[in-house]
Structure 1
Amino acid sequence: MPRYDFRCRACGATFEVSRPMAEASAPAACPDGHEDTVKLLSTVAVTGGGTAAPPSGGGGCFGGGCCG
């Protein structure tokens, strides 16, 4: 389930809420009970554990042919 970051405008606390994507834009109350919160933008980095294989075909051009 995705996690969304929020910040409370009343006390400045930052907190996370886990909820379905269908409820992503729903308001969230601060853990201290304040209702004036804002959803923060966050970036997500997705990385793989493997390594990419080099392209086959030799050469540095499309299909391995000569660029010249």
Structure 2
Amino acid sequence: MLCAKLMVGDHPFIVLLQDVLLYDTTAELSKENLTRMIQRFVWTGFSKIMVEPVPEEDVSNCVPL
């Protein structure tokens, strides 16, 4: 993220990773959406991160070992 520091400065920003998509047919949109995350950031002033449960057998596929 430091490579964007000159452009972003101290302003809030969003990092969107393309490996996670929210589908309106399967996501619980009352909680799982970018608008809600932004609202909570504005309300609390704290960073937010959206995560999802991953089966134990898939963990090695998610992060380098």
TM-score category, normalised to shorter length: under 0.3
Select the structure that is richer in helix.
2
Larger Cα Rg: Structure 1 or Structure 2? 1
Higher relative contact order structure (alpha carbons within 8 Å, sequence separation ≥ 6): 1
TM-score by length of 2: 0.22
TM-score by length of 1: 0.21
Select the structure that is richer in strand.
1
